[in-house]
Structure formats: C-alpha cells, structure tokens
Amino acid sequence: MDQIAKLQKYMQSPEVKKKSDAAKDKAWTRFINQFPNADVSQFVSQASIDEKNNFTAEVFFKAGPDLYQSVFGSDRKYWSPKMKAALGLDGVSGFPYQLSPLKNRKALPIPAIDFTEKASSIAEIYNAGNQIYATPDEYFITKFRDIFSRTRLVHKTSVESKTWLRGPNMRYWPQQLNFAVFCATQGCGISREIFVSGVSLSPQVRSFYQFHVYFTVRRILYQLGGIQSISALPGDTTFNQFNNQYDVASYKRLCAEFGVDPSSDFRFTHGKNNGLGEVYFYSGKVNADYPSTLKFSDEGGKAIKGNLIYYIEPDVSAPYDWFAPKTAAGLTQVGRLRINQSIEAFFTASWARKLTLGAASLEKVGERKRLLACSLFNLSFIFCISSFLSLKFCC
C-alpha cells in the first residue's frame, strides 16, 4: 500500500505534470503537422510513463463512448471512414488522399522525420536502375547521376568546425542537398508512401513520382546557382563539400516558393557534438566533446601533450534521409506546380527516346538502339533541368 500511495503522490506532483504536458505537446505537434486538415475536437492525447520514468504521449480518435483508437499506433487500412474524415483524409471520389490537394497551408516541420527516429535510404532507389515506362506495358532502365554522395564531412580545423557549429550555413553541400530533398518531398507533399511504398499505386505511377523527386531535387540544386549557374554537384571540378557556391537571392526565392524560413536549419544536428561528429585521435575514436580541452592543431593542440584532435567525423553518412517524410496529408500548392513541371520534363525526355525508336517496341529493337534511346533520354533530362520548356515547343 505504501508503494501505491507513493506512486499516486508522485503522479500528482508538478514535475510529473510538467513532463506529461511536454509529451502531450510533442504528440499534438506531430499530429497537427501530419494531419493539418484534422478536426482536433474529435481526438484526445494521453500520456504514459515507462519503468525508466520516460514520458511519451499518443493521440487517440474518439471512436465512440469509452472507445478510443490510436492514430500512430494502428494500421491505416483498418481506419474507419469516420476516422479518416476526422483526420481530413477522406480523399476525392476514392482518389488517394496523399495525392489530393492539401486544404490548409501551414509551415511544414524541418526535418521531415525526427532525428531520433530511423529513416530508410533514399539513395538506394536512385543508385539502382530506374524504370522509365515508354508505354503502359513497356519500360527501359536508366541510371540517374549519383548526387546522394559526399555528404559526410570530415572536420580538420577549429575554424571550420566552429563555423559548422555556429548555425545553418548553406555553403555546405550536405545542407544544400538536405534543402533540395526537403523541397522536392515535404515541400511538395510527396511522402515515401508515394515514391517508395505504402499507397497502392501502379508501377507506372510510382515510377513517375520517383522521377519527380529526383528531377525536382536536381532542378532546385540547379536553381540555387542563380542565373550564373554557379552551383556544382559531386564530381564537378568546382564542387566543394565545405564551400559549395550558391546564390543567396536564389535561395531566398526558393524558400519563399516553398514557404520555408531562410534561417531554417538544414543541418543534421543529432548525435555526438550536436551532429558535428565523433572526435578522432591518431589512435582512433575517443568519447569526447568539442569544444573542450582537446584541440585541433590550429588552436594549439599537440600530440606530445595528448590533446591533439586529428579530425571530427559524424557517424551518419546520409543526413538527407531525414528530410523526406514517411507520410504526408496531401499535395501542397507548390507541389502541384512542380509536379506539372516534372510531367512536362518526363514527356520531353521520353519524346527524344520515341524519336529514336519510332513505333518499334523495346523488345524488337537492338541493344545498341536501346542504349542510344537511354542516352537521348538522359541528355533531354539534363536539358530540362537547365532550360525548362513546355511540351508545345518540343513536339
């Protein structure tokens, strides 16, 4: 009885209430960000505590008298029409709500996935061959240029390390890529349910949305360079992980287009030293903070004193994965405009392939002609990134 009384007293303490309220606020924030069209009056948040005194909270749908259904802890395919309507996910005439227009425009969370959660790889989709459907039944396989690389920064000086720690800085290549991935996915309302798996879509539609994400990422990176096209990708002679040139005015225009505050942080700030990384001595990794008594050579660190940092490197090699959402409530207004651009680019590039193959099926042409068609598709794709044209000028 004494233990029960102590527990009841503890659960009623201000400390518990404060932690419980914080957990509920976090749950509501996640809920509203993911379901901006929801009728919140039909939902309730409940907090819980585990054996280690960690507080978590969940949002539940009021399914009936004394009957509640978890939003994030239940399978979507079992959600009732009433629950979907309360969440604002009733769609349009059976059309997937994920591809329906988003009714309300609200600031979208950055990053798209909490850094404490797992995020599956985006690069795996594009580093393999990508299917491009030439007809409803036939496709050819092409491989896009690998841009999802050189994102692990190795910090070797105090000046550069403290520059990174000081705050967001779009001169860093990983932050440029994180920004572009965010805009092409979260900013457009395109989630992994659409371009990876989750929503029931035909292979042709899924293939197009994969094309859309990659094309839009490439186009945004190109637009970051401004009218002088000063942006660079991994493999370009002017590419620099730490000081990749971009046009500030163009960045601000893109932020305005996607409703992003230009001061937003596109760093991966989870892990050791707020995302800067693990500290390495000549002998290997050490569990140390930075800044601390340990120093780089440019700030007085010396091997003979045992305080010399050789470099600092993060464990995460693909930070952009956390900037593409797992789910989304629908297409944003800018997303619909950008998807129209992707459609035009897709058909413009496919038109070059059609000119090569004519009316012949892919199975009946030779390997040399198929390779030529793929090459022309890729060349037209690059042309669309840098010189966007409407289809009426390409046919």
Q: pLDDT digit string (tens) for 332-355?
A: 889 999 999 998 888 877 665 555
Model pLDDT, residue 389: 43
Q: Quick one: what percent of the chain has pLDDT higher than 90? A: 45
Model pLDDT, residue 392: 38
**Residues 326, 196: Cα–Cα separation, whole Å:** 9
**Residues 181, 229: Cα–Cα separation, whole Å:** 19
Per the prediction, the chain carries an average pLDDT of 83
Beta pairing class for 311-313 and 43-49 = unpaired
Give the lowest-confidence range in 28-32, 154-158, 226-230, 385-389.
Answer: 385-389
Type of residue found at 117: E
Q: Which two tokens stand for residue 142?
A: 């092409």
Tell me the average pLDDT across 115-121: 91
Q: Which of residues 148 and 79 earns the better pLDDT score?
A: 148
Q: Which of residues 77 and 90 earns the better pLDDT score?
A: 77
Residues 123-136: tens digit of each pLDDT: 999 888 888 877 77
Instruction: Provide the pLDDT confidence category of residue 390 given band limits of 50, 70 and 90.
Output: very low
Task: Report DSSP letters for 305-344, one per residue.
Answer: GT-B--EEE-S-S-GGGGGS-S--SSB-HHHHHHHHHHHH
Model pLDDT, residue 173: 98
Contact between 57 and 45 (Cβ < 8 Å): yes
**What is the side-by-side strand order in the sheet with 278-281?**
284-286, 278-281, 311-313
Neighbours of 388 (CB within 10 A): 14
Model pLDDT, residue 106: 66
Query: What is the rounded (10 degree) CA torsion for 189, 193, 197, 203?
Result: -50
Instruction: Provide the pLDDT confidence category of residue 68 given band limits of 50, 70 and 90.
Output: confident
Tell me the average pLDDT across 184-198: 89
Contact between 301 and 192 (Cβ < 8 Å): no
E-state strands within the chain? 43-49, 55-64, 67-70, 130-133, 139-142, 278-281, 284-286, 311-313
Of 85, 55, 87, whose CA–CA distance to 71 is shortest? 87
Model pLDDT, residue 394: 37
**Residues 248, 225: Cα–Cα separation, whole Å:** 9
Residues 145-185: tens digit of each pLDDT: 999 999 999 999 999 999 999 999 999 999 999 999 999 99
Contact between 177 and 153 (Cβ < 8 Å): no
* pLDDT score of 46 more than 50: yes
The helices-and-strands tally (H runs, E runs) of the chain is 11, 8
Give the lowest-confidence range in 55-64, 89-98, 170-179, 224-233.
Answer: 89-98
Tell me the average pLDDT across 232-260: 95
Q: Quick one: what percent of the chain has pLDDT higher than 70? A: 84
Give the lowest-confidence range in 16-20, 211-215, 365-369.
Answer: 365-369
Q: Which of residues 7 and 381 earns the better pLDDT score?
A: 381
pTM of the model: 0.77
**Residues 351, 310: Cα–Cα separation, whole Å:** 53
* pLDDT score of 241 more than 70: yes
Model pLDDT, residue 359: 47
* pLDDT score of 260 more than 70: yes
Model pLDDT, residue 200: 77
Model pLDDT, residue 130: 82
Model pLDDT, residue 40: 85
Tell me the average pLDDT across 195-221: 89
**Residues 96, 7: Cα–Cα separation, whole Å:** 47
Model pLDDT, residue 78: 78
**Residues 174, 172: Cα–Cα separation, whole Å:** 6
Of 340, 333, 329, whose CA–CA distance to 97 is shortest? 329
* pLDDT score of 288 more than 60: yes
Q: Which of residues 310 and 385 earns the better pLDDT score?
A: 310
Contact between 92 and 246 (Cβ < 8 Å): no
Model pLDDT, residue 353: 56
Task: Report DSSP letters for 117-155, one per residue.
Answer: S----SHHHHHS-EEEESSSS-EEEE-----S-S----B
* pLDDT score of 138 more than 90: no
Instruction: Give 237's DSSP letter.
Output: T
Of 187, 184, 179, 174, whose CA–CA distance to 275 is shortest? 174
* pLDDT score of 393 more than 50: no
